[in-house]
Structure 1
């Protein structure tokens, strides 16, 4: 049985929209199924997850960002001689609730390990609550590999209650909190200069784990020579999206340098990941509005 949170755990200084209230109803009601919260960026999914975690009356719980967890899972998996069960024992112990923030699947190699992981979690009767920008049917969107992941998608839909959180307000556009990431800048600059180039970070075959390792003990990062995304390869765009996620979640002040203004660098690219990174990078513009070093709206 999935643990429930008390309704007062979701008390807020703002009025919850209808979709958020529907999610709260699910998270405060007993059910054997997990919960899969999905929807566009900025609609409060992570807020709902955090409030749920704080309101659940158990210490046998773990809340992780999916990027970080999967990096640790890979490391433990290799360390234990490719034994997934031993890796999960190490990472999860005897928890009864696991919460993933920003669950997604893009790589077919990762998809195979994720499929086995999910089967094991359900076999262990660990309750799973996740947020995602993707509906279950949109996971592993690459048409070359999507069909291979369909059995896992069907398992997710069977074992988890799918809840759409797509209210009318993107709260990131009105949030007033200033973070280290939001204090960074997007500057229009010619190629060159001090920092790490986009090509070094995104054209090379780097994983999310590589980015997580890179930001350890780092508070500031400078990225140069960022092209318009339509001019980059599909793999490079995906890596840049993963990199922005890591920088955002690690709250790393980042100085982005590109020949293209912030409001134009994603022109010609579409997709849920693009929407998310544009929303996150837009915080630079809002936070630095009026600053000479950032692009104005």
Structure 2
């Protein structure tokens, strides 16, 4: 049995070494799925190094005993990739995650992760535990030795106040973290309330994660959309086919629902990958969502595809109001928009209460159709 287990482990190691970030990237470039990028190559070196260190890595709880009989292996540093939108940070992290030679791993949008944490803390505090963060952290540690976060950002004071203590537990237990962000760590929660209480988290990041600026001059997402139609009308089978093709390109054919939790409710975007999401008009505006919900969506994704926007009238006045609020939230957040609709923006809502005010929404929909909109 021991011999069999040893052979299985050897096969696993060989396979995971072959399926490395660089080898997978090369395959996708060769197939035409990706365009070779020098800046991405430099980030891949850091990801490849971490991949190789993880082949024999055991979290602290597992190598403490082995340390009694020799020197415990060094703890690998995670990686913090930051840079502008569309540079390929999320794609590279997903590529690393898919090939990572470690079984207990999790990839999650950072905003969704912190919502889970806040919900877990609320539940644990009901039990009367004095320090709720510790059992919440222990549950995460039991589930994953590698955590990959997309879009690390801190905008909520509630998150800012607990994130340092939470990650102190994770790092102490040997959890490896790889994350993407649009900001350098020192710019996280910039000018936030009581920011001095957040600063220790910045120090933790710089102690346990290598920093890498993915400083590419190429916005790959922008390039993909530069020659693409962004507003489809009418919404018919042909339009849906084009939307499906765009989604397959933007998502790489992989997606999972993004569930945002706000004030005890769940907002679900059924298709999500790499800060890009897709949902129908009914899923976004046919439900009783409010301004705060749409702001939550706008700050959680960089590009949103909204399908099957109907012609609106007084019979759909509530849906029209929500749609106006959604577009305002996306516009202010500079979130890119792809849409399919029954008719042109100016003809979507011509009769009913609010039809006059809808002219501004129609104007914004026109402006957002420009491929370079939202870059500044």
Q: CA deviation at 1:75?
A: 1.5
Give the aligned partner of residue 45 of structure 1. 89
1 CA distance for matches of 2:305 and 2:37?
28
Larger radius of gyration: 2
Does structure 2 conserve the Cα–Cα contact (< 8 Å) formed by 1:106 and 1:142? no
Give the aligned partner of residue 102 of structure 2. 58
Runs of 5+ in structure 1 lacking a partner?
177-181, 186-207, 224-235, 267-273
Instruction: Pick the aligned partner of 2:181 from 132, 135, 153.
Output: 132
2 CA distance for matches of 1:118 and 1:250?
30
Give the aligned partner of residue 227 of structure 1. none
Runs of 5+ in structure 2 lacking a partner?
1-15, 54-75, 234-259, 271-278, 310-321, 346-364, 371-376
Helix, strand or coil at the partner of 2:153: coil
Does structure 1 conserve the Cα–Cα contact (< 8 Å) formed by 2:141 and 2:173? no
Give the aligned partner of residue 344 of structure 2. 292
Q: CA deviation at 1:249?
A: 8.4
Does structure 2 conserve the Cα–Cα contact (< 8 Å) formed by 1:247 and 1:254? no
Helix, strand or coil at the partner of 1:209: strand
Instruction: Pick the aligned partner of 2:261 from 209, 217, 223.
Output: 209
Give the aligned partner of residue 253 of structure 2. none
Alpha-carbon distance change, 126 to 165 in structure 1, aligned in 2, over 3 angstroms: same
Q: CA deviation at 1:10?
A: 2.3
2 CA distance for matches of 1:248 and 1:6?
25
Helix, strand or coil at the partner of 1:41: coil
Q: CA deviation at 1:258?
A: 4.2
RMSD: 3.8
Q: CA deviation at 1:245?
A: 4.1
Q: CA deviation at 1:115?
A: 0.8
Alpha-carbon distance change, 241 to 18 in structure 1, aligned in 2, over 3 angstroms: farther
Alpha-carbon distance change, 184 to 102 in structure 1, aligned in 2, over 3 angstroms: farther
Matches within 5 A, 1:212-291: 213-215=266-268, 219=280, 220-222=283-285, 241-246=295-300, 253=307, 257-258=323-324, 265-266=331-332, 274=333, 278=334, 280-282=335-337, 284=338
Q: CA deviation at 1:246?
A: 4.2
Does structure 1 conserve the Cα–Cα contact (< 8 Å) formed by 2:141 and 2:170? no
Matches within 5 A, 1:176-191: none
More helix by share: 2
TM-score for both structures, normalised by structure 2? 0.55
Does structure 2 conserve the Cα–Cα contact (< 8 Å) formed by 1:183 and 1:253? no
Whether 2:139 is the aligned partner of 1:90: answer yes
Aligned residues: 241
Give the aligned partner of residue 107 of structure 1. 156
2 CA distance for matches of 1:184 and 1:89?
48
1 CA distance for matches of 2:103 and 2:202?
29
TM-score for both structures, normalised by structure 1? 0.68
